Amino acid sequence: MLLGGLSATALAPGFAFGQATNEIRIGAPLPLTGPLAPEGRKQKRGYDLWAAQVTKDGGVDVGGRKLPVRIIYSDYQSATPRGVQACEFLVNQEKAHFLFSPFGSGAAKAGSAIAERYKIPMIAPTASSVEVYDQGFKYLFGTFTPNSTLTEPLAKLVTEKAPDVKKVAIFSRNDLLPLSLANEMRKSSAARNLSVVYDEKFAIGTLDFAAALTQMRAAAPDWVFVGGYINDLVQVRSQMRDLGMKPKVLTMIAGPAYEEYIQALKGAAENVSSAAWWHPSVRYEGEDLFRSTANYVEVFKAAYNGDTPDYAEASASSAGAILQLALKKAGTLEGPAVRDALASLNVRTFWGPVHFGATGQIDSLTPPVFQIQEGKAVVLVPDEIKRGEFRFGIA
């Protein structure tokens, strides 16, 4: 039994190459329905844009041949165990040469075991937690820097601009990314002698935050830091408004970077600060098919009715662009060779400079800090792309 299982495992990628060398098959498990559907659809838009651009350019250069790209989607309905099944299905049934990871740190971590088992390079466009990359895996590569690269610049900015901010409340969804963000926020607070006066988690799917926010309000924090996804964050912000909570600083990750967050909250989104791994106002020139950030934004707008891309969409497009550069370098679709090409990549792209560290996580980006001002995300850090000054207080 065991031997049979091992044989099937070892042969599966071989069959894939034998059967489908006339196209590049990429498996993309996504939460296209369920609570994470907004995030899942963003990733899909990013992938689709890259694939459309590849088609326009005549294909991906692999060893002198131009091969078309086929992205095979599988909806795992926002349930991580189904995401892992989807990875397995895409490799074994759909014969995917490469995988883009499921959404977020938790699902990417779970799905990466499949990529590792079958020696299929997997690019994770939405996984930032170091816990995803510390498994010793060789086939997983991520386009997000660690979460500390978000909390540290935020903490530095807030404490520099408002030395009277002393008390911090940390509230996070009981999920890998938000918990990891909360952990980094604790470290950033401790490093600056900020007192954490409230530190709690909320269950996935929670709708009513009134009791937790009441307790948080009683602790009178100067700075409230909330980690979660867009639906959680919209609901928490709405109920903070209902309870009349007005901390000096409100930071939420990872929702305010999305236009949907601003649209859902209108005025209540004002002065909410956040950080993300990319922003459309960054300016990079690249060797990838999009050539520059400015051009990427234009191509995206043209494809999606004038919508401006956010970091999740851009990261998904960058996953394709990075894979394309690695394929050109490797000159083959063989998993181990492409994996080596990804590991040694050191290029500039519209997403920013791309170099993966020893764990497979990108180590060459500087994520911007921004704040919602007059209904727009205004970059505050780094200085090169700064567009405004930090504002205190919320509506």
Residue 364, both tokens:
């060459």
Shortest gap between Cβ of 186 and other proteins (angstroms)? 16
CB of 32 to other proteins, least distance (A): 9
Least Å distance between CB 198 and other proteins?
A: 11
| Cα–Cα distance for residue pair 100/29, rounded to 1 Å | 7
Alpha-carbon distance 205 to 14, whole Å? Answer: 41
Which C-beta is closer to other proteins: that of 39 or that of 152?
39
Give 62 or 182: the residue with its C-beta nearer to other proteins. Answer: 182
Q: Which is nearer to other proteins, 69 or 234 (CB)?
A: 234
Nearest to 23 by CA among 63, 56, 59: 59
Min. distance of Cβ 116 from other proteins in angstroms?
30
Listed residue (59, 107, 292) closest to 99, CA to CA: 107
Helices (H), 224-379: 230-242, 259-265, 293-303, 311-330, 335-343
- Whole-angstrom CA distances from 339 to 97, 116, 327, 333 are 11, 11, 9, 10
| SS percent in the chain: helix, strand, coil, step 5 | 45, 20, 35
CB closer to other proteins out of 246 and 283: 246
Q: Identify the DSSP state of 75.
A: E
Q: Which residues in this chain contact other proteins in the complex, by CB under 8 A?
A: 33-35, 37-38, 78, 174, 200-203, 205-212, 214-215, 218, 231, 234-235, 238, 242-244, 264
Residue 85 CB, nearest approach to other proteins (Å) = 19
Reduced to 3 states, what is the DSSP secondary structure of residue 385? helix
The distance of closest approach from Cβ of residue 315 to other proteins in the complex, given in angstroms and rounded to an integer, is 20
Nearer to other proteins, 43 or 78 (CB): 78
